[in-house]
Structure 1
Amino acid sequence: MTELREENGWKPLNAGGFMAGIGPLYARRRDDGVFTYALETGEAHANALGLIHGGVIAGLADQAIALVAWQAAGRAPVVTVEMSTRFTDSARPGARLEAEAAVRQTSGSMMFVDAAVREGERTVALATAVMKITRKGGGR
């Protein structure tokens, strides 16, 4: 596994808030323009079974979805209205989780976005979200 370093194309993101508490979060842009977001996990990310906590995985998916929606909305603020997460496999501390998201459809101020969280070739979770583009200065 390559290290999450700038010479490997990874750049740390200052996501702040919740992600700062479980991160750091890294981003890398592929040649086709798609962004991948990564999180190196450790014991602090584990649940009582010794597996990566579902909240960590869902949080990474939500962050990837929000960043992709924000970019697609011309960098207008977006908020998660609803998100459904399906856990398809588990991960253990020490795993690098990578998330990618794509906008499926936009309708007015609403966006429908899909994401996958993977550890290497294994898909750990799939998520679907409804995002709302908000007005600058607050309000929904």
Structure 2
Amino acid sequence: MSGPADDEGSPPPAGYVPAEGRGGFSTLNGPYFHRPGEGELAEQAFFARRRHANGLGLVHGGMLSAFMDGVLAGAVFRGTGKTGVTIHLSIDFLHMARVGEWVMGEARLTRATRDVAFAEGRAYVGGHDVVRCSGIFKLMSRER
């Protein structure tokens, strides 16, 4: 079964570029895009394809969880300059995302200690939030 949601999708939103170097799991689930910048807000996106969906054509909760885990980790890196490994992830599913939509994610670091960082974020489609989430990350010694 093929169709528009199986091809390369629509062009990424303005200002977003392909994300690279994310590892095998994320590469397989992507492609992901991010908005480069210097601010505290980490912004990423993906175009929802059939492979991201459940049998109802809705983006699978596991896909949204994996995506937001990466968005939160991006906020941790942006705010601390260190890679963070997830030690806790909390997600509230608020609305549906469908195949053929751009799912946008944004997150910011809320607090960091020497060894642990905290981040909060959301994924949204159009004018509605799809998920809200928070995470706790163990900071690794590998720096920028």
Shared fold, TM over 0.5: yes
Q: What are the Cα deviations for residues 34-59 of structure 1, in whole angstroms up to 9, with x where unaligned?
A: 33100001111111222110011111
Question: 2:62 matched to which residue of 1?
Answer: 55
Question: Displaced runs of 4+ in structure 1, greater than 6 A?
Answer: none
Structure 1 residue corresponding to 2:30, chosen from 15, 20, 23: 23
Amino acid at match of 1:41: A
- 1:26-105 matches, within 5 Å, as 26-29=33-36, 34-74=41-81, 76-105=82-111
Question: 2:138 matched to which residue of 1?
Answer: 132
Unaligned runs of 5+ in 1: none
Question: 2:11 matched to which residue of 1?
Answer: 3
For the residues of structure 1 that align with 2:128 and 2:73, how far apart are their CA atoms? 23
Question: Kindly, what percent of the aligned residue pairs are identical?
Answer: 26
63 and 109 in structure 1: CA distance in 2 versus 1, 3 angstrom threshold: same
For the residues of structure 2 that align with 1:59 and 1:28, how far apart are their CA atoms? 18
Q: CA deviation at 1:77?
A: 2.2
Aligned length: 133
TM-score (norm 2): 0.83
Q: Give the RMSD, CA atoms, in angstroms.
A: 2.1
Is the Cα–Cα contact under 8 Å of residues 79 and 134 in structure 1 kept in the other structure?
Answer: yes
Q: CA deviation at 1:33?
A: 5.9
